[in-house]
Structure 1
Amino acid sequence: MTLGAGATCEVWELDVPSDAACLSEWASRFRQTYCPDSDIDILREGTGKSRAEYLLELVFPDKGAAPGPAVRAGDFAELLVSDFVEFMLGYWVPRGKYAEKGSRDESVKGVDIVGFKCPSAEQPKPTDEMLTFEVKAQLSGGKYSGRLQVAVNDSGKDYLRAGETLAAMKRRMYLAGQQAPMLVVQRFQNAVDRPYRLLSGAAAILSDGAFDIDGIKATITAEHNNAGNLKLIAVKGTDLMTLAHALYQRAADEA
């Protein structure tokens, strides 16, 4: 899809698999992003809760009480785009922030998604890449609310907050004893002495009812500070909020 000023936006349709094994694998990836299976029994000890209760009541964003559903929609959209960035674009995407929330019903501040391409952290090259992505969701339908434009606008701020996001990411890895991943993050912390390619991205995840071609085409990118390296995607799907709730429920039930 062509936007103004020559920008383009890829449009993807999410075709949800009906195969139970595939859905279980997807739900497992969701669950272990928030809490590795190896840690659930230790962490729920003392709560009196089953695995499913622990996840649904203390870990996953709340399904009913605000702001839980909005946070759940945002997390779902970020994880969906994280998979796209990792498996379709070939970047490594750390996801540790979801397991370190101070409150399950809050979105983690900073850059939504950071992806890295770095063959050797110890031998950095100017061709190494860091991709920052901002993601906005409208999963429950309704009139399109300009989510791609909001994602573009927020993406333009990523160069200011990337330093804090990388510092937090590195700290989590250090405390977890993840030395090799930590060195990859460290490689991107000083662009002056160790230059690399910085790419940007903005995504809108939309239920069918909210998908508006004309609205998406009206997105303005000219003022983005990295407009020449800005990737835009829109993902549409049927009743995506119901899908998000079903994945979180399956993730808990199959823990």
Structure 2
Amino acid sequence: MTTPAHLDWLVDTGQRLKTADGVEIEVWELQHVDDSTVLSAWAKHFREHYVDDDMLKKLVEGTGKTAGQFLVDTKFPDEKAAPGPSVRSGDFAEILVADYIEYKLGYWCPRQLRYDQKWNRNESTKGCDVLGFQFVKDGGVDPNDELFVFESKASMSGNKPINRLQDAVADSGKDVLREATTLNALKQRFLERGDTAPALKVQRFQDIADRPFKRISGAAAILNSPLYDETLISQTTTAGHVNATNLKLIVIRGEALMDLVNALYARAANEA
């Protein structure tokens, strides 16, 4: 598995915070720079969450639009009109977290199917934000297989820090209610595409009573650096979370993140 070059910019700072109830919070930093080669590859990777390039060519036919116009008008959340900007930042955060658990932690993380059939480009996709799967043995069933369900929240604009990690923890606690429908939707999409093997990998996690596995929960806050407030983040509590003993917490901070998000969408359209 080749790691995309932009993941070199996602760096573990080594800093660890503690929640109010003593749970460790990892602090990562997105140290992006103006490297056109890396940004172009990232834009393609990002674009293909919404529509792969082969399908894009077919969808553009008959519309009278260029590929870039089609993406901006039909697939990508709006840059300026609400709620487009918040959907953009939310999608970016989810995709970055998916990259993190796939390429940094080594989980299988199918996520393109989450974005490519949005009925409304300016709405967030329903269900669990990010699913990761890890198997002790491919094709087998082991009680140590892991289902990683991650919730992400972003704050990339404004001047006042808010505790988005606490928001992510709160929504993560609701994932147990969304898990079954999210797994079913993912399995169905694979079956509709004729992809039986990945559908069966998802199916392995649909009956924990008969086929036990480890359920890991995660909560992430993706923050523009001026909105990163250690004191506020450390007020987070995991009390009452249904999977508090298997809960991973991370914060990803970065400079000018909304500018990066908009530039990435623009490049994804312009280079299609």
TM over 0.5: yes
Q: Does the aligned pair in 1 maintain the 2:219–2:247 contact within 8 Å?
A: yes
2-structure distance, mates of 1:220, 1:68: 30
**What 5-or-longer segments of structure 2 have no aligned partner?**
1-16
Alignment TM-score, normalising by the size of structure 2:
0.92
Per-residue deviation, 1:180: 1.1
Residue of 50, 53, 61 corresponding to 2:77: 61
Alpha-carbon RMSD: 1.0
1:150-190, Cα deviation, whole Å (9 max, x unpaired):
10000011111100000000111111111111111000000
Query: Equivalences for 1:22-171 in 2 at 5 Å?
Result: 22-95=38-111, 96-120=113-137, 122-171=139-188
Q: Is the 8 A contact 2:159 2:226 kept in 1?
A: yes
Kindly tell me: are residues 121 and 163 of structure 1, through their superposed partners in 2, closer, same or farther at Cα, counting changes over 3 Å?
farther
Deviation of the 1:49 alpha carbon: 0.4
The amino acid across from 1:118 in the alignment is F
Instruction: Report Cα offsets for 1:46-81 as digits up to 9, x if no partner.
Output: 211001001111101111111111101100010111
- For residues 112 and 9 of structure 1, the distance between their equivalents in structure 2, rounded to whole angstroms, comes to 19
Aligned length: 255
Kindly indicate whether the alpha-carbon contact (under 8 Å) linking 1:118 and 1:184 is maintained by their aligned counterparts in 2.
Answer: no
Post-superposition offset of 1:6: 1.9
Mapped partners of 1:187, 1:17: distance in 2: 41
| 2:28 aligns with one of 2, 12, 22 | 12
Whichever structure has more helix as a proportion of its residues is: 1
Amino acid at match of 2:190: M
From the superposition, tell whether residues 141 and 235 of structure 1 become closer, same or farther in structure 2 (CA, over 3 Å). Answer: farther
**Kept in 1: contact 2:94–2:130 (CA 8 A):** yes
> C-alpha distance in 2, partners of 1:251/1:119?
36
Identical residues among aligned pairs (%):
50
Partner AA of 1:94 in structure 2: P
Amino acid paired to 1:15? Q
Q: Residue type of the partner of 1:237?
A: G
Choose which of 171, 193, 200 in structure 1 pairs with 2:210: 193
Unaligned runs of 5+ in 1: none
**Cα displacement (A) at 1:141:** 3.8
Answer yes or no: is the 8 Å Cα contact 1:14–1:235 preserved in 2. yes
1:110 deviates by: 0.9
- Between the aligned partners of 2:59 and 2:256, the Cα distance in structure 1 is 33
Q: Following TM superposition, by how much is the alpha carbon of 1:5 offset from its aligned partner in structure 2, in angstroms? A: 2.0
Task: Give 1:20 shift.
Answer: 1.3
Q: Are residue 230 (structure 1) and residue 247 (structure 2) matched?
A: yes
1:118 Cα deviation from its structure 2 partner: 1.7
TM-score, normalization by structure 1: 0.98
Offset, 1:144: 1.4
| Contact 2:136 2:144 (C-alpha < 8 Å) held by counterparts | no
TM-fit CA distance, 1:18: 2.5
Letter in 1 for 2:115: Y
Q: CA deviation at 1:17?
A: 3.1
